[in-house]
Amino acid sequence: LLAESDPESVDAVNNAQESSLHLAAQHGHDKLVRVLLEHHADPRLRNARFETPLDVAARTGHAVVCKILIGFCPELALQ
C-alpha cells in the first residue's frame, strides 16, 4: 500500500501531530518502523509534545525501535 500511495502521506499526522512512525515507535512495532523508514518516513518529525519518534520509543521503553531509528538517522542520537 505504501508503494502505491502518495509519498508524502507516509508523514501524515493526527490531531496530536503524531505520524505513523510516532505511533509505531510508541507501541514497539519494530518491523513497521523499519517499513515506514524504508518508505521515507521522516524520523525527525516532532509531535505536539515536541518529541521525535526516537523520543517516544525511548520514553515507552522500546530499545529495539530506538536502535532502528538511530541506524536510519544517526543524527537523532545527538539531539
CATH code assigned at 53:
1.25.40.20
Domain contains 2: no
Domain contains 1: no
Tens-level pLDDT at each residue, the chain (79 residues): 454 556 678 999 999 999 999 999 999 999 999 999 999 999 999 999 999 999 999 999 999 999 999 999 999 888 7
Name the domain count of the chain: 1
Domain contains 67: yes
Domain contains 42: yes
40: nearest Cα among 79, 2, 71, 75: 2
Domain contains 58: yes
Domain hosting residue 70, numbered range: 7-78
**How many angstroms separate the CA atoms of 18 and 49, rounded?**
9
Domain contains 28: yes
